[in-house]
Amino acid sequence: MSHFTRFRQLPQETEATATEDLPPGSPRENLPEHAPEDTPDGAVTAAEQDAVDTAPGDDTTPVEAEAEAEAEVEGAVEAEAEGTDTGAAPAVGWRHRHPAAARAVAWTTTALAGALVLVTLLLPNDPARLTPAEFARIPVEGIAGAALLLLLPRTARRAAAVLAGAGLGLLALLDLLDIGFDEVLGRGFNVVFDWALLGDGASFLQDSIGRAGTIGVEIAAVLLVLALLVLPALAVLRLSNLMARHGARAAGTTLVLGTAWVVSSALGVQIAGAPVASRSTSDLVQARVDGVNATLKDERTFAKEAASDPYHRTPGSRLLTGLRGKDVIFTFIESYGRSAVQDPLMAPGVDAVLAKGTKRLRAAGYSARSGWLTSATYGGSSWLGHSTFLSGLWIDNQQRYRTVTAGDHLTLTSAFKRTGAWRTVGIMPGVTKSWPEGKFYGLDHVYDSRELGYKGPKFSWSTMPDQYSLAAFERLEHGKPHDKPLMSEIILTSSHNPWAPLPRTIGWDQVGDGSVYNSIEKAGKHPVDVWQQTDKVRTEYGKSIQYSLNSLVSYVEKYGNKNTVLVFLGDHQPVAKVSGDHASRDVPVAIVAHDPDVLKRISDWGWTPGLNPGHKAPVWRMDAFRNRFLSAYGSHPGPAPSR
């Protein structure tokens, strides 16, 4: 039986039937003895028709039905408090027994719904703007949305409210991702290609806090996402029902707020530097749309740039002629940035290691020059820094990385392979599965974490200590007889966050298969303890850089020879918690060689003598290094001259 049929039967009841079960003093005792004469038998009264109009229809979803039912009960409670009759049957349950409590719950829920909508409308995507003043503004999107909901019919209003609320929740989720990415990577979240990085983040968490802790964080993240999509939808739906019940009052309030927004915008009124008249949501939506368009355009532009390489047709016989016969080692030190050598808290220890290392290498017959490079990434995504340095292209996002590694653009490492004069190998302790990019980089063989023979414990994210990686390189490649010199790319990972626990330097004859590190790892600090205080994090970061530098200098001392050429650099700055807000993206770079002619070829670079670049040392973009290096140690780009 439909709602309409059920209500049409009401006038057919007899007076006795309608009143015989009602207790004395009930509202039905005050009804007139007869229905008004102008209401025909079987017709529907205005109150009954209103009940039909406001009853949930067959197409109402459970969420909408529950929200409407609650709104009707609240309306009845409000009407009872105001001494008016809603025409509905007396409420039952706890709301009827405790009307004051019901009103308090209804008002509190409505206030929370309004606050949630306001927060989602005004939430900034910049952590520096998370201040109370940001949430004391008037959002124009809320005013426009309220006006639209007042104009829509009931069914359309509900659908629009749910969609608008879910949209606000999605925007809030993206704002939170922006804040998180800004804290770690120094940039916002890219909605086109950054989703894959969430999986990398989960892997890092598992290495840092264990599987159980990571599962807990993942569950909390899923619940947060669901809450952000559902709760704002329910909040907007609740507010729209309230506005529908109090249409005149809602329209007046909307008009007043709209007028206040226009006046505040015209006069430039501000609260603590934040404009009262806000349109941040629409601006953020527009910025995201523009970002997607720019990303798609960037893909096409970069593909053309990557395909155009001045060294593409340069024959191997003309490449790297100034390094023939040398064992060249390119080494990336994880998170080794300008902050490590210039921050007042961390620099004293790191600078002391660099100064001592310069003296130790000089005593062994080596010289060094150092400068600065501006990395394409910050706080993470090390592979972007590696590929930028080696390819001579600015690779600051994942799409660019995929584009360049799918092609045949010449890298520093593949240039060595093109000559045919070197054996090219990679030591990649951070690679734990197949790595097809090895072919792009021109490496004859890649030793990943599974091939280095390590039997010791992981040090948080780092699969093995840097000293072990260098010892494995010596055992597997450098220390073996070979008919060609080596060009090696080595990634050192001990300075990867969370910088606890940390390994320590031991005698090279003690390294063995790495099992000696079990006791060292157990005696180390726990990441959770370190990350409770910023100063502790920064201190442990500085210690990790000291360890990596000591390991590298010690390796050259012990295993280097007159043909050794070492190029080492940082891949990016550490996260903002360590490097500070608005830190540069500069990283140190140094070239160490036993043969004086190697450094003589770069004498016009203006680099600082020693391992520690001075404040006035030149700063280049990281993508500029490839061409400068190939030019210094070979001929200018282009095909061989015709005879």
- Is the confidence at residue 607, as pLDDT, over 80? yes
pLDDT in tens, 508-563: 999 999 999 999 999 988 888 888 788 888 999 999 999 999 999 999 999 999 99
Q: Which two tokens stand for residue 518?
A: 């079990």
- Is the confidence at residue 7, as pLDDT, over 60? no
| pLDDT value of residue 282 | 76
**Coil/strand/helix, residue 403:** helix
Grade residue 412 by pLDDT with cuts at 50, 70 and 90.
very high
User: Which residues partner with 426 through β-bridges?
Assistant: 446, 489
| pLDDT value of residue 100 | 83
| pLDDT value of residue 19 | 39
Residues 292-299: what's their mean pLDDT? 76
| pLDDT value of residue 207 | 63
| pLDDT value of residue 548 | 97
- Residues 51/14, Cβ–Cβ less than 8 Å: no
- Is the confidence at residue 63, as pLDDT, over 50? no
Classify 198 in phi/psi space as left (phi over 0), alpha (psi -120 to 50) or beta: alpha
pLDDT in tens, 118-166: 888 888 878 777 788 878 888 888 888 888 888 889 899 899 989 998 9
DSSP codes, 105-158: HHHHHHHHHHHHHHHHHH--SSGGG-SGGGGSSEEHHHHHHHHHHHHS-HHHHH
- Is the confidence at residue 33, as pLDDT, over 70? no
Let me know if 295 is exposed, middle or buried by CB neighbors in 10 A (0-12, 13-18, 19+): middle
pLDDT in tens, 126-138: 877 778 887 888 8
- Is the confidence at residue 318, as pLDDT, over 60? yes
**Coil/strand/helix, residue 638:** coil
| pLDDT value of residue 496 | 92
Grade residue 419 by pLDDT with cuts at 50, 70 and 90.
very high
Residues 562-579: what's their mean pLDDT? 92
pLDDT in tens, 91-108: 457 777 778 888 888 888
Residue 598 CA: distances (Å) to CA of 328, 345, 526, 627: 11, 35, 44, 16
| pLDDT value of residue 530 | 84
| pLDDT value of residue 593 | 96
For a pLDDT cut of 70, what percent of the chain falls above it? 82
Higher per-residue pLDDT: 61 or 203: 203
The 3-state DSSP composition of the chain as helix, strand, coil percent (nearest 5) reads 55, 10, 35
Question: Mean pLDDT over all residues of the chain?
Answer: 81
Higher per-residue pLDDT: 636 or 305: 305
pLDDT in tens, 270-291: 887 778 877 777 777 777 777 7
| pLDDT value of residue 64 | 47
Q: Report the 10 Å Cβ neighbour count for 628.
A: 13
CA distance 488 to 117: 56
pLDDT in tens, 334-348: 999 999 999 988 999
- Is the confidence at residue 55, as pLDDT, over 90? no
Residue 421 CA: distances (Å) to CA of 100, 283, 302, 485, 489: 88, 56, 31, 7, 16
- Of the ranges 8-22, 205-219, 231-245, 495-509, which one carries the lowest mean pLDDT score? 8-22
Place of tokens 């994210």: 461
| pLDDT value of residue 208 | 63
pLDDT in tens, 170-222: 888 888 888 887 777 767 777 777 776 777 677 666 666 667 777 888 788 88
- Is the confidence at residue 30, as pLDDT, over 50? no
| pLDDT value of residue 272 | 74
- Residues 123/94, Cβ–Cβ less than 8 Å: no
Residue 27 CA: distances (Å) to CA of 8, 32, 34: 21, 11, 15
| pLDDT value of residue 374 | 96
| pLDDT value of residue 387 | 95
Grade residue 310 by pLDDT with cuts at 50, 70 and 90.
confident
Grade residue 640 by pLDDT with cuts at 50, 70 and 90.
low
| pLDDT value of residue 28 | 41
